[in-house]
Amino acid sequence: MIDPSHHPIGVFDSGLGGLTVVKEIHKLLPNEQVVYFGDTARVPYGTKSRPTIIRYSREIVRILLKHKVKMVVVACNTASSLALETLKKEFDLPILGVIDPGARKAVRLTRNKKVGIIATSSTVKSGKYVLKIRQLDRDIDVISSACPLFVPLVEEGWFDNAITTQIARQYLSNMKKHNIDTLILGCTHYPLLKNVLHDVMGPRVQLVDSASEVAIQVKELLLKFRMLRTSLRPGQHLFIVSDEPKQFSQLASRFLGGGIKHVRRHIYV
Amino acid sequence: MIDPSHHPIGVFDSGLGGLTVVKEIHKLLPNEQVVYFGDTARVPYGTKSRPTIIRYSREIVRILLKHKVKMVVVACNTASSLALETLKKEFDLPILGVIDPGARKAVRLTRNKKVGIIATSSTVKSGKYVLKIRQLDRDIDVISSACPLFVPLVEEGWFDNAITTQIARQYLSNMKKHNIDTLILGCTHYPLLKNVLHDVMGPRVQLVDSASEVAIQVKELLLKFRMLRTSLRPGQHLFIVSDEPKQFSQLASRFLGGGIKHVRRHIYV
């Protein structure tokens, strides 16, 4: 029998945001190797339709499989919302999305049972977070809000900007009215806006960034399937993007908080 | 010899913005038929690299050729900046971009010889507008500014919004300092922000929307090649998109100012 434990973990996202998940995996499991795929030539996913997101996700899993990944983490909330079930049916390896971990964490944290979700239009429309939270605790009230300008604001680097605060105020006004005590950051870009979101929501509201929870579930899955990497050498990661690697490397340090080596380009044929 | 005059005009854009060009073509040449391709599954282009934009544009021209177009209008500023020259070399039919018409109009309009350009990051980086304007009149000072948030603001529908005005003020502050009298709207989405841009720049600054100028050049080209459609029946247009037609039809009326019929989906294989 082939031992897959030394194989890498596949992680993909529409662009850079999923690197926040890579960062947490690396922190919790420093010996693991990650192959990351960022679909920078077709980013963003959040405004696109379900059939398109499924097609893109399927293509990417096939690419990751060529790199012999032992499991796949769908680090993109939109792809997790719209494509995860299809991917699980079509591919025979453990596949983990980010909705379930985020929902679990929020359910654990809320005290007044009022949870807010901010995400892309497609994620909100899918209703997957609401469904998951209600499955876990049907007494929880869930308020969702699509925030299409947050991703471009992050990409513009306007993290602590007065305009970003105003936009956040507008998007979150409904959440505030409903007196939520827990807010799920349902898009991997949003953790970079944490300061602004804290300012707007106030100190009583806890922000749920699913990245750390995803890393925990990755570890649980690898333990369950006896696939934890036992090598004592730290993992080497590989980053693949569908657009120019140069632009990716420059922006990626914002998410990963450090230099990125080994970036390759994949061209769809 | 086959008479191509009854064939349609091909127009393409990364998404919806190019419909402003279709509108002007339809106004000036109501008998012409247009086949429009909006690459909604891969929008936006403005943040992507040159090789990727060239590859996408080439694929789209091939699709338009299957619809027997007699000429192609690259209605996307980013694709015009980065891919037009390559397309002209590779395909044997008249191909028109939007940079040249916009630059010509601005050169004609400016009195103090200070022209501003706002566009996507890729268009600004390409330097094509500056080059073209300097070729036409090398005494003109040109100031460019990338405005990455304008496209998402338009797609969010925030046309006459206080936040949009503030963002515009930030992006345009340099233009104002340089005392420009003419501002090229170097992205097909921007005409929808005309009110805000007028407010911010003041009444002395003329806004150049290249769509009407493009329509004039389309007419000139068709006359030159004796390809004007002579049928007296008004043209029927066909709209093709790479993502779901439904989303497209809903948003498209904003740009075209009317209902859209005959929308098909194209899936890349």
Cis check for the bond before A101: say yes or no (omega within 30 of 0).
no
Q: B156 CB near a chain A CB, below 8 Å? A: yes
DSSP, collapsed to helix, strand or coil, labels residue A24 as helix
C-alpha atoms less than 13 angstroms from C-alpha of B215 in its C-beta half-sphere: 18
Nearest residue of A to residue B167 by CA position?
A: A163
Cβ neighbours of residue B18 under 8 Å, at least 6 residues apart? B11, B12, B36, B38, B73, B75, B76, B188
The answer to whether B34 and B26 are in contact (CB under 8 A) is yes
Q: Which residues of B touch A40 (CB under 8 A)?
A: 48
Which of these is catalytic: A106, A180, A187, A192? A187
Q: B42 CB near a chain A CB, below 8 Å? A: yes
Surface-to-core class of residue A166, CB atoms within 10 Å of its CB (0-12 exposed, 13-18 middle, 19+ buried): middle
Distance from CA of B48 to the nearest CA of A (A): 6
Nearest residue of B to residue A167 by CA position?
A: B163
Q: What phi and psi, each to the nearest 5 degrees, are found at residue B138?
A: -80, 0
Q: Which two tokens stand for residue A66?
A: 């060529």
Nearest residue of B to residue A43 by CA position?
A: B42
Cβ–Cβ gap B167/A163 under 8 Å: yes
The topology (CATH level 3) of B4-97+212-265 is Rossmann fold (3.40.50)
* Among the partner residues B48, B153, B156, nearest to A41 by beta-carbon distance: B48
Q: Which residues of A touch B49 (CB under 8 A)?
A: 243-244, 247
Catalytic residue numbers of B read: 76, 187
Report chain A's mean pLDDT, rounded to a whole number. 92
Q: A47 CB near a chain B CB, below 8 Å? A: yes
pLDDT band, residue A174 (cuts 50/70/90)? very high
Q: B51 CB near a chain A CB, below 8 Å? A: yes
The topology (CATH level 3) of A99-210 is Rossmann fold (3.40.50)
Q: A187 CB near a chain B CB, below 8 Å? A: no
Rounded CA separation B21/B27 (Å): 10
Q: How far apart are the first and last CA of chain B?
A: 34
Which carries the bigger pLDDT value, residue A111 or residue A20? A111
Helix (H) and strand (E) counts for chain B?
Answer: 11, 10
Which of these is catalytic: A21, A76, A99, A214? A76
Residue A259's pLDDT is what? 60
Which carries the bigger pLDDT value, residue A154 or residue B92? B92
Indicate where chain B has its CATH 3.40.50.1860 domain(s): 4-97+212-265, 99-210
Q: Which residues of A touch B55 (CB under 8 A)?
A: 267
Tell me, what DSSP letter sits at residue A108?
H
The ipTM of this complex is 0.88
Nearest residue of B to residue A164 by CA position?
A: B163
pTM: 0.91
Q: A157 CB near a chain B CB, below 8 Å? A: no
Q: B3 CB near a chain A CB, below 8 Å? A: no
Strands B206-208 and B182-186: parallel
Q: B155 CB near a chain A CB, below 8 Å? A: yes
Residue B187's pLDDT is what? 93
Q: B141 CB near a chain A CB, below 8 Å? A: no
Cβ–Cβ gap A148/B170 under 8 Å: no
Strands A71-74 and A34-38: unpaired
Which one of A42, A57, A267 makes the best mutation probe of the B interface by having the most chain B beta carbons within 10 Å? A42
Low-confidence ranges of chain B (pLDDT < 50): none
Q: B167 CB near a chain A CB, below 8 Å? A: yes
Known catalytic membership, residue A147: no
| Sheet with B114-119, side-by-side order of all strands | B141-146, B114-119, B182-186, B206-208
Q: How many CB pairs under 8 A join A and B?
A: 55
Cβ–Cβ gap B163/A170 under 8 Å: yes
* Among the partner residues B152, B155, B163, nearest to A166 by beta-carbon distance: B163
Rounded CA separation B156/A133 (Å): 28
Cβ–Cβ gap B244/A49 under 8 Å: yes
Tell me, what DSSP letter sits at residue A76?
-
Residue A262's pLDDT is what? 79
Cβ–Cβ gap B52/A243 under 8 Å: yes
Cβ–Cβ gap A42/B40 under 8 Å: no
